[in-house]
Structure 1
Amino acid sequence: MASMDWLEEMHAEFEDEIIHTKSTYVKKMSQDYYWYSPVLKKLLDHHSGDCVIAPRDEEELISVLSFAYKRKVPIVSRGGGTGNYGQIVPLYGGIVLDTSKLNKVLEMKEEQATFQAGCKLGVIEKTLRKHGQELRFYPSTFMKSTLAGFIAGGTGGIGSIQYGTLWDEGNVLQLSVVTMEEKPRKINVTKKEELTKYIHSYGISGIITEATIATAKKTDWHDMIVYFDDLQSALLFSEEVSRKPHIKKRLVSVCEAPLSSVFKPLRTYRSETKATVLLQVDPDQTQEVMNLILEHGGETTDTFAQYVKNHNLRVSDFSWNHVTLWWLKQNEADTYLQGRFDPHIYLDQVRQLKACFQDEVLIHFEWIKARGKLVPSSQPVIRYTTDERLQQIIDAFEKLGIKVSNPHTYLLEEGGKDDWIDDICIAKKQNDPCSLLNPGKTKYIAEGIHEMAGEEHV
């Protein structure tokens, strides 16, 4: 069979309604936010799928997988396309599987709920809050991100200060996964050691079709912004708020000056010279937080929360990787890193970084819990000049004991979240024997990848 004959056969087998071949649309759907990285931009800009298929239900999705398997056509599953590492960029063409039409609410229970893969997290949050619940945590891109996309490509987010990350026990409760075989199997995964095979896997080990997640009791969070004359004071304040277990919080986000100056919608609350801390706290703990602000020499304003509400803003839009996005809008040549500082010596690590790189590295922290321990997680902005200089900065981070999650690679093993890579690859071998699911995103290569005639390897 000629390499692209499958496109004609696809039109004969499936309704045109679910097939998209317009080149501009296919290119758009083949991309995520990999361009945050100048390294990935150079590597991935020219890659695209050959078509997009948007199945309307699970049965149709399974039929598409079977069709692709028989013709050895690679498939990349796409959620909201809000990832940062080229997770959904097809390296070998083929089908971009748009799961956004699988968007049903399947079951709502006390402290847990089940949704189809394509449900947007923003819709899930709104639905849960109508029932007195809310997401435990979510990425800053939650209005566009889908549930399965987050699980397969994300880590944590707003709320991780209370509940940890996707890997922490009790957050992801069950997954329904479809295999890439001639007769695809549907696997129901509930055990912790099995769930890790599909979390942050870039979809290489199976297609998530349903997910059951733990939920939290709804809180009417109070938004706060706090200013400090220096970064160290901001960090010490944010650490104390984060360490007090009785202060219920959803967000503790620290930006070195002048990062918050690019938060355009906040207008008068932006600062060129002050370090800022954005908080979401339980209203019952607001007074205690105010006392801590005074103790640490900070200042705040009681008009911020109402301003956010009146302007239909979300504080989450100025935290996590949205900080990077706002910065890149005005400084498009720059980039970022991701890393976890040592909670015992993080202040010294920051001091040494600033002494070495000054404004070449702008500190941005998000306090989280991981495996039950408080962690100063960071997404610092990097003033980019060359790939070589970027690598020097990464090396400096690692030399200081900062665990870098490298956002400048599309390979799972090199991204810094590889604790379960062996398990993921075992599942891939079992569920995807011809390595047709998002091939090329891991150093693990099955024999089937060599059978993709006419495709150029990266």
Structure 2
Amino acid sequence: MNAPYWLEELDGLFDSEMIKRKETYVKKMSQDYYWYSPVLRAKLAHYSGDCVLAPKSEEELINIITFAAKRKIPIVTRGGGTGNYGQIIPLRGGIVLDTRELNKIVEIESGQGTFEAGVKLGTIEKVLKETDQELRFFPSTFMKSTIAGFIAGGTGGIGSIAYGTLWDEGNILALTVLTMEETPRKINVKTKEELAKYIHSYGISGIILEATIALAKKVNWVDFLIQFDELEQALLFSDVVAHDTTIQKRLVSVCEAPLSTAFHPIKTFTDKRKASVLLQIAPEHQNDVEKKAACYGGDCSAAFSRFIKQNKLRMSDFSWNHVTLWWLKLHPNDTYLQGRFDPKHYVTQVNQLKERYQDEVLIHFEWIRAGGKVVPSSQPVIRFTTVERLQEIMVSFQEFGIKVSNPHTFLLEEGGKDEWMDQICLAKKENDPNHLLNPGKTHRTAHSPLAGETHV
């Protein structure tokens, strides 16, 4: 296939250090963790951009947008590349916009901070320690994830049990967004309704330049690994901790046996026959948690928290979608789902799944707060055999009243987080009149080359 004509124009217009053309590098930068899904793995592996451009300033970014808009070149904005749904895979070639050099810490105040799009969340967390603050919540991939990438592609994470998700009011305070036009407009966004046009939008509605987020006071968290003979004991205990407003917490994560045995760095603390609960708790509530665990038959290791700190490990590496990652290292053909269980009937729903599928579905819960309510979110591991069987399992989830967020599609409206699709598409129409931003990621605008094929 011939290279597009516009590649020859780059050298005369942009700093050579900004331009990356090496085929293997462009291919790498055109991918995310889509391979978690055997469905997406089969469909998306051969897609790639034509080049990578890495601006270091707002001026350079605007020049790239102008260049692309005039020539009708697609742009896919990339942060750390840690998404799981093929969000950043270019379906129509074009420019992969690497934002990681846009990494200025604009301002940190008490309770909030403003950062350029490419600042890594791990960097923010490290810098915040000097101000006795921390991120409210972050994904398990926070050491690589950028702040704009998380906002445009994520949902919640470690800390969501206290502060909710990206959509919950008070977490994202403001965004500065550039439009995809020959003369890009800079939009300052602050209201909940306007912010929702850019949250979990895969970057189709605008290019985030800066983000202002709320911050939390720093806590010296205590790490727990508590094991239970039965999954139901682990679930009920985790429910009590998640709902107890007197216990300050950052993480309430539940894994059915034998999921936790895949966590290689802490394997000596796990048992393949036991369910596990991982917690991060404020130190003043440690005794209360230990007593509650004992009431449910939980076994706490006094050495675990010490081991984590001595070995400089991160609890985030053993929760959220890192659970799936550890499991896939041992079982590369397996996959996962995302589901929201019913807060009142989740035990029944789990039992229904286990009765029908036994170890074909391995339960993994992350308790979060969403819309002010504590809910059991989940990322269960699926012992994958065929696409048809995966579809059957997803139908069973829905049959049992579990809301599925399908991680086996790159289309926004099929992913289960579509409450704001009308607003996202309205913003795309206003900000990207030629449908150049990450084209093909929604049915509602220019059709995807794989439209109709992403259903599991």
Q: TM-score, normalised by structure 1?
A: 0.97
How many Å separate the matches in 2 of 1:97 and 1:73? 12
Alpha-carbon displacement from aligned partner over 1:208-230 (angstroms, at most 9, x marks no partner): 01000000000000001000000
Displaced runs of 4+ in structure 1, greater than 6 A? 455-458
Distance 1:52 1:369 in 2: 38
Deviations 1:145-166 (A, max 9, x none): 0000000000000000000000
- In structure 1, what is the Cα distance between the partners aligned to 2:305 and 2:4? 55
Contact 2:360 2:383 in 1 (8 A): yes
Q: SS of 1:237's equivalent?
A: helix
Tell me if structure 2 keeps the 8 A contact 1:342–1:375.
yes
Structure-2 change in CA distance of 1:364 and 1:456 (3 Å): closer
Q: How big is the shift at 1:420?
A: 0.1
Equivalent pairs counted in the alignment come to 451
Alignment of 1:283-432 (within 5 A): 283-432=283-432
> Shift of the alpha carbon at 1:3?
7.3
- Deviation by residue 1:303-354 (Cα, 9 ceiling, x = unmatched): 0011011111001100000000000000000000000000010000000000
Question: Partners of 1:411 and 1:316 in 2: how far apart?
Answer: 27
Q: Offset at 1:456?
A: 9.1
Query: Tell me, what secondary structure is at the counterpart of 2:138?
Result: coil
Are the equivalent residues in 2 in contact too, given 1:220–1:283 (CA < 8 A)?
yes
Runs (5+) with no aligned partner, structure 1? none
Shift of 1:270: 2.2
Could you tell me which residue of structure 2 aligns to residue 116 of structure 1? 116
Which amino acid letter does the alignment assign opposite residue 181 of structure 1? E
C-alpha distance in 2 between matches for 1:222 and 1:180? 46
- Quick one: which amino acid aligns to residue 62 of structure 1? I
The secondary structure found in structure 1 opposite 2:156 is coil
Question: CA separation in 2, counterparts of 1:126 and 1:3?
Answer: 42
Q: 1:38 deviation in Å?
A: 0.2
* 1:74 is aligned to 2:81: no
SS of equivalent residue, structure 2 residue 224: strand
Kept in 1: contact 2:337–2:382 (CA 8 A): yes
Structure 1 match to 2:223: 223
| Distance in 2, Cα, partners of 1:437 & 1:412 | 14
SS at match of 1:220: coil
SS at match of 1:445: coil
Match of 2:195 in 1: 195
Q: In structure 1, what residue type is equivalent to 2:427?
A: A
Q: Percent same amino acid among aligned pairs? A: 65
Give, in whole Å, the separation in 1 of the partners of 2:87 and 2:52: 16
Give 2:49's aligned residue: 49
Instruction: Give yes or no for the alignment of 1:62 onto 2:62.
Output: yes
Q: Deviations over 1:401-445 (max 9, x none)?
A: 101000000000000000000000000000000000000000122
SS at match of 1:225: strand
Give yes or no for contact 1:92–1:456 (8 Å, CA) kept in 2: no
Partner of 1:236: 236
Q: Is the 8 A contact 1:262 1:270 kept in 2?
A: no
Describe how 1:272-283 pairs up with structure 2 within 5 A. 272-283=272-283
Secondary structure, in 3 states, of the residue corresponding to 1:161? helix
Counterparts in 2 of 1:3 and 1:22: CA distance versus 1, 3 Å: closer
Amino acid at match of 2:238: S
Aligned counterparts of 1:431 and 1:336: Cα–Cα separation in 2: 35
Q: AA paired with 1:162?
A: A
Equivalent runs, 1:1-20 vs 2, <5 Å: 4-20=4-20
**Cα deviation, residue 267, structure 1:** 2.9
Q: Which residue of 2 aligns with 1:211?
A: 211
Q: Spell out, residue by residue over 1:116-167, the C-alpha distance to the aligned partner (whole angstroms, 9 max, x if none).
A: 0000000001111110110000000000000000000000000000000000
CA distance in 2 between partners of 1:274 and 1:64 (Å): 54
In structure 2, how many angstroms separate the alpha carbons of the residues matched to 1:445 and 1:264? 44
Aligned pairs (5 A) from 1:129-208:
129-208=129-208
